[in-house]
Structure 1
Amino acid sequence: MADALLQWAGVRKSYNLGLPSEAEVLHGIDLRLDAGEFVALVGPSGSGKSTLLNIVGLLERMTAGSYRLQGEEVGGLDDAALTLRRRRTLGFVFQFHHLLPAFSALENVTLPVLMAEGRVERSRLAQARELLAAVGLAAAMDKRPAQLSGGMQQRVAIARALVLQPALVLADEPTGNLDTATSDEVFALLRRIHAERGTSFIVVTHDPRLAARCDRRVELVDGRIARDERVGGSGRAGGQGG
C-alpha cells in the first residue's frame, strides 16, 4: 500500500476546555488520504467540516489523537514549525477569494511566494504567469480584482493556492459564491489541475452535483464520519465510535 499523504487516528477537537461551555465537536476521527486523491467532504451545517478542514490545514490544533502529514507527526510542532509545514505542503481555496484589491492578479498569485521566501525571484514570477495562463487568465494578469468577474477572481485564488506547488489543496466551498455555470467551470478547472499535476484535493461542498464528480465522498455527521465511499464504485461505509 502506498504511503499515506495524511493519516489521522482518533483525532478529537474540543473548544472552551475546562469551562462549563466546553464542547467536543470532533469525536475520535480516523481518516487516511493517499497522494493523488480527490475527495469531497460533505455533511450538514454544524457537523464539524470546517473544524476538520482547519485541523488538516494546520490552522487549528487537535485536542487529542495523532496527525501524520507526509509521514511526519505534526501534532507536537510549535507554531513556527506548523507555519513552515503549512507553506511547504498545503494550498487553500475558500468560498470568498480574499484577493487584495490594490494588487493585480499576478501580484496576488505571487503573495505566498513573497511571504514564504521574502522575495519573488524571476523563476517564481514565470511560474505565477504560467499558472494564470493555465487557469485561463493569460490576458488578465495585470488586472485588479474589481476588474474581474467572480469566476475569474476564484481562478486567481486557485492559481495562488498552487504557486508553491502544494501536495494537498484544501478547498472550502470554492464554488459556493458562484452561479451554477461558473461553479461548474471552476470545479472542472480543479479536476483538470488534479489530473494534470497529481495534486491531492479535499473539497468541502454542499452541492451534491459536485460531490458526485469527486472520486471519494466522506460524510461527516455530528463530528463523526458517517460514511466514506468511492463515488460510483465500491464504498467504505460505516460510522465511527468515540
Structure 2
Amino acid sequence: MPAPPTGGGLIDLSGIKKSYNIGRPSEAEVLHGLDLQIATGEFIALMGPSGSGKSTLLNILGLLEHATAGQYLLQGQAVQDLDDAQLTLLRRQTLGFVFQFHHLLPAFSALENVTLPALMSEGSVSSAQNERARSLLDAVGLANAMDKRPGELSGGMQQRVAIARALVLEPPLVLADEPTGNLDTATSSDVFALLRRIHEERGTSFIVVTHDPRLAVRCDRLVELVDGRIARDEAIVAGTEPVH
C-alpha cells in the first residue's frame, strides 16, 4: 500500500503510460498505467531492476519526456496541458536535477557552475543569486574551493558542486538519478548524508533513484518498479535492515 501523504500534494500521477516507437512493429509500452502520489517534503527512494522503467519515470517527472497517456499534476498544474515554453518555465521553477555524472563545465569555477542555472534562466546572475550560490557551496563544505575548476576537485567534491547547482534556484523538488553511483562507498555515504541534511534543513523534497539498498533504507519511503509497474510502495522504518 502507498505510504500515507505527509504534507500537501506535490505530485499526482494517474494512469501514466509511456510507449516508444508508436505505430511501428517495434512499439513497446514501458510504463503500464502508474498511479503515484507524492507529498511535499518527502524523501523517496526509487528502485527497480534494469529495464524496469525508472529512468523513463524520472524523465516524465522531470518534464523531459511526455507520458503517452494518463494525467500528471505537478503542484496542482496539469502538465499535459502545457506547451514547451510553459514546461521549460515550470521545470526551472519547480525542479532541480542531480545525476550520476555531474556534468560540470570544466572551464568554469565551482561558483560559476553553481550559478549556471540562474544565468541560463535569466541571462545574468543577480547579487542575491551569487550570494546564495556561495552560501550553498559553504553548506556543502566547499567554502574554500569556490574558485577551483572541476578538474581540481575530487569526485565527491564535484558531486557536491552539482548538488549546490541543483538547489540554487530553490526548487521544491530535486530529482537525483544515481547521485552516488560513481563514487566509492565512503564518499557515497557522505554525499547521501548531505542530501538528507538539505532535506531536513530546507524542506526540499527528494526522489532518489538508487540501486544500493544501504542507501535506500536511509530514505523515508520506497517506491519499487518492476516491469513498468509499481511493485512496492511503502514507508521505511528507521533502523530496519537494507531492502532487497
TM over 0.5: yes
Percentage identity across aligned positions?
76
| Aligned AA (1:217) | L
CA–CA distance in structure 1, aligned partners of residues 49 and 30 of structure 2: 13
Q: 1:199 aligns with which of 183, 190, 204?
A: 204
Q: 1:50 aligns with which of 34, 38, 55?
A: 55
User: 1:120-199, aligned counterparts within 5 Å?
Assistant: 120-199=125-204
Instruction: Give 1:232 deviation, angstroms.
Output: 1.5
Q: 2:37 aligns with which of 27, 32, 36?
A: 32
CA–CA distance in structure 1, aligned partners of residues 153 and 70 of structure 2: 43
Is the aligned partner of 1:213 residue 2:218? yes
| Aligned AA (1:146) | G
Q: Which residue of 2 aligns with 1:226?
A: 231
Instruction: Give 1:117 deviation, angstroms.
Output: 1.1
Partner of 1:6: helix, strand, or coil? strand
Q: Which residue of 2 aligns with 1:84?
A: 89
The superposition leaves residues 154-201 of structure 1 with CA deviations (integer Å, 9 ceiling, x where unpaired) of 000000000000010000000000000000000000000000000000
Q: How many residues align?
A: 233
Q: Which residue of 1 aligns with 2:77?
A: 72
Partner of 1:75: helix, strand, or coil? helix
Instruction: Give 1:138 deviation, angstroms.
Output: 0.1
Partner of 1:98: helix, strand, or coil? coil
CA–CA distance in structure 1, aligned partners of residues 24 and 82 of structure 2: 25
| Aligned AA (1:108) | N
Give TM-score scaled by structure 2 length: 0.94
CA–CA distance in structure 1, aligned partners of residues 227 and 81 of structure 2: 26
Is the aligned partner of 1:108 residue 2:108? no
Instruction: Give 1:3 deviation, angstroms.
Output: 3.0
| Aligned AA (2:184) | D
Give TM-score scaled by structure 1 length: 0.95
The superposition leaves residues 32-73 of structure 1 with CA deviations (integer Å, 9 ceiling, x where unpaired) of 000000000000000000000000000000000000000110
Unaligned 5+ runs, structure 1:
234-242
Is the aligned partner of 1:8 residue 2:13? yes
Unaligned 5+ runs, structure 2:
239-244
The superposition leaves residues 144-163 of structure 1 with CA deviations (integer Å, 9 ceiling, x where unpaired) of 00000000000000000000
Partner of 2:81: helix, strand, or coil? coil
| Aligned AA (2:198) | I
